[in-house]
Structure 1
Amino acid sequence: MPRVPSMKFKSEMLQAYFVCGTQDIGDRDLPAILNEAIAAGITAFQYRDKGESKLNDEQRYQLGVILRDICNNAQISFIVDDDVDLANKLNADGVHVGQKDERITKVVRDANPDMMIGLSCQTIEQTEIANEIDRVDYIGAGPIFSTNSKPDAVAPMGLELMEDMVNISDVPIVAIGGIDNTNLQSLKNNGAVGAAFITLVTQTDDINRSVKNVLDVFK
């Protein structure tokens, strides 16, 4: 039986995929940063509040409501990382899960039926397993390059392995990890449909230019 993607999922949403939480921005205002990133042209936003976040569960939910409404008003996909219960509570467009996060089988079972699902993969074996899970809409491959934005990140996988994963994957692959203006084209050349990024927005003086550079490559 052919794979049936979520009605909400379109591969174009992966082109310029902004990932962020309070741990990434110090004392700055996340809704303001998201608004600026949306104005610059991001195609999706992942709410990833974990690690060194200082928010409790209720604060994380309340901020999520604000971020979801910003995305909804801008018609940008709003995705929650690693918390299917929070994703359901926020009526998110999607949920993303990593290999070390909630088991993908639990996410598939518990996620709202119309929710799109993303899965992080770092190996051929993980990609082959993802091919067997009908509700996985896309794969996040990475970290492709060395990154300091995720303390729990595994070793960089590199472009060659990403390309091998692209060649066997039944779903689109978005690249993440250590992405900057110097390596965007290499990601596309090796089969990624887009770039997912944190510091490209959170550590720049020109969000508009940074996002435009991504769109220039992938649109």
Structure 2
Amino acid sequence: MKFDSKFLRAYFVCGTQDIGDKDFPQLLETAIQSGITTFQYRDKGSSILTSAQRLDMGKRLLDICWSANIPFIVDDDVELANELHADGIHVGQKDERITKVIRDADPGMIIGLSCQTVAQVETANSISAIDYIGAGPIFSTNSKADAVPPMGLSLLQDMVQVSNVPIVAIGGITLNNLQSLQDNGSVGAAFITLITQTDNIQHSVQKVLNVFK
């Protein structure tokens, strides 16, 4: 799937560790019906799935995404991404080196990289295969146990001004701070709890889409 910056408008990130006793495939189907533009399979941290179970769940979620023509991105696991024939791979600064990921990933995959500083963005600018940057956490978040301190909106704006590729904001995203992200140059919002901890998924996703038109 060829990368389009519109994929980043409403970017849902999720793994089994985020959903409690919810039915994962059903949750993803509802999120897609509500309008998400990309899904990232991030099953790690407190996930209790075995490698075989993670692969099986990935296949089910991939089929749901492909049926709706929604990009399916795998977080930080090139082997899994390749085995699933995912649309893309996303890695963080603490994960495998981005150059190794690009080398090992199947050709044509969408490549995303997490950045927290202007210097990291400048380094990313020298790597032509990177399609987008995930900047964050912008605000304080409880969704990642290993999250770095929140970077804030001013640094987001500085990173956007330097970056050669579009930036999607992540971390502590709420319906009340979406507009501030757009005002500071983010092309979209990446989120977990906006979907996993709401009683009205459609309302949440539509609010994101209304801000990032």
* Aligned residue number for residue 79 of structure 1: 73
Per the TM alignment, residue 59 of structure 1 is displaced from its structure 2 partner at its CA by: 0.3
* Aligned residue number for residue 148 of structure 2: 154
Is structure 2 residue 99 aligned with structure 1 residue 99?
Answer: no
Which letter maps to 1:23? Q
Name the CA distance, whole Å, in 2 between partners of 1:167 and 1:113: 29
**Matched residues, number:** 213
Is structure 2 residue 59 aligned with structure 1 residue 56?
Answer: no
Deviates more, 1:102-111 or 1:12-21: 102-111
Q: Please provide the CA RMSD for this pair.
A: 0.6
TM-score by length of 1: 0.96
* Aligned residue number for residue 142 of structure 1: 136
Per the TM alignment, residue 179 of structure 1 is displaced from its structure 2 partner at its CA by: 0.3
* Aligned residue number for residue 3 of structure 2: 9
Per the TM alignment, residue 105 of structure 1 is displaced from its structure 2 partner at its CA by: 1.1
Is structure 2 residue 127 aligned with structure 1 residue 127?
Answer: no
Name the CA distance, whole Å, in 1 between partners of 2:21 and 2:97: 32
The ranges of structure 1 where at least 4 consecutive aligned residues each deviate by more than 2 angstroms after the TM superposition are none
Instruction: Encode CA deviations 1:48-78: one digit per residue, 9 max, x unaligned.
Output: 0000001010000000000000000000000
Question: Which of 18, 26, 30 is the aligned partner of 1:32?
Answer: 26
Which residues of structure 2 form unaligned runs of 5+? none
Name the CA distance, whole Å, in 1 between partners of 2:75 and 2:20: 19
Once the two structures are aligned, what percentage of the paired residues are identical?
Answer: 69
Name the CA distance, whole Å, in 2 between partners of 1:91 and 1:83: 12
* Aligned residue number for residue 4 of structure 1: none
